């Protein structure tokens, strides 16, 4: 930001939001909601209209049946995750988090005074946690498993069989709740259809919290609407936390989210097609840079890039120094892998036009190879 303010030509590939505008029919629904006076508090857990739309979304897209009292609308999926951590975890509890992970998970676990337990996944296994790794990480203190598919920062997508295999391990451990963060559900191009964790594991339905939202699928990051569905007691506890902190999600945003979930989905498809086209264009270009390895991803809008050889070549100590140098010398902003629990990597967001991406990759090449 400071460099931009100083007039530098900065390319920010560090952002975690689609570079598309919210579709017109969704904005229109918000305008109409304002004009109709939907400007008051709503029910704490969401408007009847939005909750019904979420219920149908789960039914049609994920083959999951949730009664309305098992659904809670929040101010973004981030608040859904936070509500869950605060209501479920106590001091001394452990939460298993596959690494690389979304930066907020460990901090949320720590804010609940519990301990994050990281399970390192590798590019060789497609950044997917293996059932034996999960089994080895479980202790008597394990209370939560956090899964995120499609994943930020790797773009990894768990196929149905992989989710079933993790579920088989968890069946032996009835105390463990699964938080399945599916916020990137509609941005993926894996070979099979997207599978929700609870759909793959009906036996674990009663201890799975499914989290989703409109931020990524409908390019609505600023509107702040996410939702969680799961066991009644947990949803009730999460609602109690929300009741004493933020109350309901914005009434106008809820009207917009209702229109998003109930309305035409062609914009979702179009955006996903565009993300895949960019992925397919830039992944080989990045992989061709000396000292850099970039495996293809299956979803989200990130590539997670191994820069360990480039660090050696340039005599740099770590990915943080790499990102600082890259920004200073070339004006390209990336996020160091260390932030996601994976030193030696950088995350490149392709939520930018192909022209901008190609310019950025040329600059990264110059920096990495010099
Ligand atoms: N979960 C993951 C994995 C994310 O990457 C993000 C946003 O970057 C979120 C949740 C938060 O989404 P929301 O905008 O709905 O709070």
Each residue's pLDDT tens digit, 44-61: 999 999 999 999 999 999
- Give distance in angstroms: CA of 172 to centre of ligand 1: 30
For residue 297, pLDDT beyond 80? yes
Residue 215 Cβ inside 6 Å of ligand 1? The answer reads yes
Paired sense of beta strands 335-336 and 332-333, if any: unpaired
Can you give the pLDDT at residue 223?
98
Segments of the chain assigned E as strands: 11-12, 71-74, 94-99, 115-120, 142-148, 177-181, 208-213, 226-229, 302-306, 332-333, 335-336, 345-349
What whole-number distance in Å separates Cα of residue 82 and Cα of residue 361? 35
**What does the pLDDT read at residue 151?**
98
| Beta-sheet strand order (sheet of 345-349) | 302-306, 345-349, 335-336
Tokens representing 311?
């660090």
Instruction: Give the C-alpha separation, 94 to 55, whole Å.
Output: 31
118: burial class by Cβ within 10 Å (0-12, 13-18, 19+)? middle
The mean pLDDT value for 281-286 works out to 98
Q: Where in the chain is the domain with CATH 3.90.1150.10?
A: 2-21+266-369
Averaged pLDDT for residues 98-117: 98
> Does the beta carbon of 179 sit less than 6 angstroms from any atom of ligand 1?
no
Confidence grade of residue 282 (pLDDT, cut at 50, 70, 90): very high
Asked if residue 109 has pLDDT above 90, the reply is yes
Does CATH number 3.30.1950.10 belong to domain 2-21+266-369?
no
> Tell me, what's the pLDDT at 15?
87
The reply to whether CATH 3.40.640.10 applies to domain 25-262 is yes
Ligand 1 centre distance from Cα of residue 81 (Å):
9
Cβ–ligand 1 distance for 76 under 6 Å, the answer yes
pLDDT at position 5 is 76
9-13, 166-170, 311-315, range with the lowest pLDDT: 9-13
Number of Cα atoms under 13 Å in the Cβ half of residue 132: 1
Determine the average pLDDT of the residues in 247-256.
98
Q: Enumerate the CATH 3.40.640.10 domain ranges in the chain, comma separated.
A: 25-262
96-99 contact pairs (CB < 8 A, 24+): 96/134, 96/137, 96/138, 96/142, 96/144, 96/145, 96/146, 97/146, 97/341, 98/127, 98/129, 98/146, 98/147, 98/148, 99/340, 99/341, 99/342
**Is residue 180 lining ligand 1, measured as CB closer than 6 Å?**
no
Q: What is the DSSP letter of 226?
A: E
Q: What is the pLDDT of residue 7?
A: 79
pLDDT above 90: percentage of residues in the chain: 97
Q: Tell which one of 15, 72, 78 to mutate to probe ligand 1, the residue whose CB is within 8 A of the most ligand atoms.
A: 78
Cα 321 to middle of ligand 1, angstroms:
26
Closest CA to 73 of 251, 300, 268, 260: 251
Specify the residue with its C-alpha closest to ligand 1, atom 8: 16
The 10 Å Cβ neighbour count of residue 279 is 22
Label residue 276 by pLDDT band (50, 70, 90).
very high
pLDDT score for 41? 98
Q: Which of 275, 59, 250, 243 is nearest to 150 (CA)?
A: 275
Instruction: Name the residue with higher pLDDT: 1 or 227.
Output: 227
pLDDT for the residue numbered 6: 79
Task: Tell me the pLDDT band of 328, cut-offs 50, 70 and 90.
Answer: very high
Mean pLDDT of 326-347: 98
Give the residues across from 115 on adjacent strands. Answer: 94
List Cα–Cα distances, 72 to 67, 109, 163, 353, 355, in angstroms: 11, 20, 24, 35, 40
Helix (H, G, I), strand (E, B) or coil at 99: strand
- Please state, in angstroms and rounded to a whole number, the distance separating the CA atoms of residues 46 and 32: 18
CA-to-CA distance for 177 and 83, rounded, in angstroms? 14
Mean pLDDT taken over the chain: 97
pLDDT at residue 4, as a whole number? 76
């Amino acid at each position: 930001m400071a460099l931009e303010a100083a007039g530098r030509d900065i390319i920010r590939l560090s952002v975690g939001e689609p570079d598309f505008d919210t579709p017109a029919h969704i904005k229109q629904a918000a305008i109409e909601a304002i004009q109709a006076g939907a400007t008051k508090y709503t029910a704490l857990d969401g408007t009847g209209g939005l909750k019904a739309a979420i219920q149908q979304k789960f039914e049609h897209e994920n083959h999951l049946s949730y009664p309305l009292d098992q659904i809670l609308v929040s101010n973004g999926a981030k608040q859904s995750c936070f509500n869950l951590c605060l209501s479920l975890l106590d001091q001394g509890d452990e939460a298993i988090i596959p690494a690389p992970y979304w930066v907020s998970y460990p901090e949320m676990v720590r804010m609940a005074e519990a301990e994050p337990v990281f399970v390192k996944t590798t590019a060789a296994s497609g950044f997917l946690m293996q059932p034996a790794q999960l089994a080895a990480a479980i202790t008597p203190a394990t209370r939560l498993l956090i899964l995120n598919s499609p994943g930020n920062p790797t773009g990894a997508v768990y196929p149905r069989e992989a989710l079933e295999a993790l579920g088989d391990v968890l069946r032996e451990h009835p105390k463990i709740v699964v938080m399945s963060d599916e916020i990137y559900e509609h941005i993926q191009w894996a070979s099979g259809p997207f599978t929700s964790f609870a759909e793959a594991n009906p036996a674990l339905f009663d201890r799975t919290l499914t989290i989703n939202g409109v931020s990524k699928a409908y390019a609505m990051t600023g509107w702040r609407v996410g939702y969680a569905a799961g066991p009644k007691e947990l949803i009730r506890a999460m609602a109690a936390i929300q009741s004493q902190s933020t109350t309901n999600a914005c009434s106008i945003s809820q009207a917009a989210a209702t229109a998003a979930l109930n309305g035409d989905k062609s914009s979702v498809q179009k955006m996903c097609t565009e993300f895949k086209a960019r992925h397919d264009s830039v992944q080989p270009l990045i992989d061709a840079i000396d000292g850099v390895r970039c495996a293809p991803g299956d979803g989200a809008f990130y590539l997670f890039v191994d820069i360990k050889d480039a660090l050696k070549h340039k005599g740099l100590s770590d990915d943080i120094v790499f990102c600082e140098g890259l920004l200073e010398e070339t004006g390209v902003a990336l996020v160091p892998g260390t932030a996601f629990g994976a030193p030696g990597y950088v995350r490149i967001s392709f939520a930018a036009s192909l022209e901008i991406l190609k310019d950025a990759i040329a600059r990264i090449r110059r920096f990495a190879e010099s």
